[in-house]
Amino acid sequence: MMELQLISAVLVFALFLLLGLGVWIAPALLAVGIVGMLFADAPVGSILATTSWASSASWTMTALPLFIWMGEILFRTRLSDDMFAGLAPWVERLPGRLLHVNVLGCGIFAAVSGSSAATAATIGRISLPELKSRGYPEGISLGSLAGSGTLGLLIPPSIIMIVYGVAAQVSVARLFIAGVLPGLMLMALFSGYVMVWSLLHKDRIPASGITTTFAQKMKASSRLVPVVLLIVGVIGSIYAGYATATEAAAIGVVGALIIAAFSGLLNRATFIDSLLGAVRTSTMIFFILLGAAFLTSAMSFTGLPAALAEWIAGEKLPAWGLITALTVLFIILGCFLDGISIVLLTTSVIMPAVQAAGIDLLWFGIFIVLVVEMAQITPPVGFNLFVVQSLTGKDILTVAKASLPFFLLMVAATVLITVFPQIVLSLPQAMTAR
């Protein structure tokens, strides 16, 4: 056992040393995996070849580049303008008024994107200038965008759910369905906070000055019809059982191309730009996935996951204790790594322990996504913080401070799904029962 602890300490130290030196995540994972294989006296070359093939030759993983491409296409349309125009009339009577456009807009775009950064960037490029020009407070404007942008990870289709599903061998379609209610719950928490904040700071919210009739609201909402139809086509086809996650992704790409064509922005340049953007992002994720798969094999040869699971079972650590410890771990990792890297780095080690504690892997997937959402707005490596910073020019600590209440709301959401797991499991169970 002492020898195993020493090997584990060496591997962890080597990984953090490489990451601290600025080595790219995928090569760092491969390097640490090689060290682990050498400790275990395992055939490095043959295992690298087999794990490389096994981690990439997956029909489920085909959905990943397709969903990324769908988001890239929509990012280059007038979708953010249409969302602002379509949503603004409906929130003018709510406390906080146009601040809710950040929450609702991010929630809608999340349902056709799968990317947190793309969601924040798309909605923010139109909402932040509008909110500033109308005199809305800067802090709540920045915080609501950075926080709501994380919905891109939770509301399906979600790139990180696909990565977790493949790594943990959990149905991606069921993960997508499981994310719907928690996503809506988080949107409600964000909007609720905006309302409460606005009621406590009435003098800082500018008067509406505009009254729209129901007919005008319906006319404005017509601009949301294309994206609503796309959401129904993607998520509805999965829930109804007509399509797998990969097939739904193909439907989404076709729908996104149609929306881009009708918006008049689909041309050779935007098509190639969207395709290249999807290729770059997908290649990066697949490279990390390959490195993580190799490290997983190395870990299994060292015996660390099995020993950890045995220790958990022997200590009879309750599920809530393990969840609390993992939450703290993921938040700390989120200060230094992106969400996909966190999932791929930790899955190989913690999954046996999670199973030993009797935790449902479907529920655990949504838990991980929620906690990784927090990582998107934790300095110094919070991607949504960087996105908002690039949109506004504000320093990252200002954005992080504005995002803190939304970080705490995510913590509250994590507590809620832990106490009431049916928030996650009810829809997948209903889907299975059909």
Give pLDDT, residue 60.
66
Residue 56 carries which side chain, given as an amino acid letter?
Answer: S
**209: which residues sit within 8 A by CB, 6+ positions away?**
none
Give pLDDT, residue 244.
80
- Percentage of residues of the chain with pLDDT beyond 90: 16
Report the distance separating Cα 117 and Cα 196, nearest Å.
27
Q: pLDDT band at residue 411, thresholds of 50, 70 and 90?
A: very high
Q: What is the pLDDT of residues 15-53, one digit of tens each?
A: 778 867 777 777 887 888 888 788 777 777 777 777 777
- For the segment 50-60, the average pLDDT, to the nearest whole number, is 70
Q: What is the pLDDT of residues 171-211, one digit of tens each?
A: 888 998 999 999 999 999 999 999 999 999 888 888 766 66
Q: Which helix (H) or strand (E) holds 197?
A: helix 180-200
Give pLDDT, residue 191.
95
Q: What is the pLDDT of residues 237-288, one digit of tens each?
A: 887 778 887 888 888 889 889 988 887 878 888 899 989 988 887 787 777 7
Task: Work out whether the CA dihedral 384, 390, 393, 395 comes out positive or negative.
Answer: positive
Instruction: Average the pLDDT over each of 234-243, 347-356, 406-415 and give the range with the smallest value.
Output: 347-356
Q: 332-338: long-range contacts at Cβ-Cβ below 8 A with a sequence spacing of 24 or more?
A: 333/375, 334/371, 334/372, 334/374, 334/375, 334/376, 334/378, 334/381, 334/382, 335/375, 335/378, 335/379, 335/380, 335/381, 336/19, 336/380, 336/381, 337/19, 337/25, 337/375, 337/381, 338/375, 338/381, 338/383
Q: pLDDT band at residue 5, thresholds of 50, 70 and 90?
A: low
Give pLDDT, residue 179.
92
Give pLDDT, residue 192.
95
- The rounded radius of gyration (Å) of the Cα atoms in the chain is 22
Cβ(151)–Cβ(102) under 8 Å?
no
Give pLDDT, residue 310.
61
Give pLDDT, residue 198.
93
Give pLDDT, residue 307.
63
- For the segment 130-152, the average pLDDT, to the nearest whole number, is 88
For residue 422, is pLDDT > 90? Answer: yes
Across 76-90, 230-244, 407-421, the highest mean pLDDT is recorded for 407-421
Q: pLDDT band at residue 233, thresholds of 50, 70 and 90?
A: confident
Of 124, 152, 156, give the one whose Cα is nearest residue 138.
Answer: 124
Bond before 226 cis per omega within 30 degrees = no
Cβ(391)–Cβ(175) under 8 Å?
no
Across 126-130, 183-187, 226-230, 324-328, the highest mean pLDDT is recorded for 183-187
Which of the two residues, 22 and 416, has the higher pLDDT score?
416
Give pLDDT, residue 410.
93
Supply φ then ψ for residue 264, to 5 degrees: 80, 10
Q: What is the pLDDT of residues 80-102, one digit of tens each?
A: 677 777 888 888 888 988 889 88
Mean pLDDT over each residue of the chain, to the nearest integer:
81
- For the segment 340-355, the average pLDDT, to the nearest whole number, is 76
Give pLDDT, residue 343.
80
H and E: helices and strands count for the chain = 24, 0
For residue 425, is pLDDT > 80? Answer: yes
Instruction: Average the pLDDT over each of 66-70, 344-348, 382-386 and give the range with the smallest value.
Output: 344-348
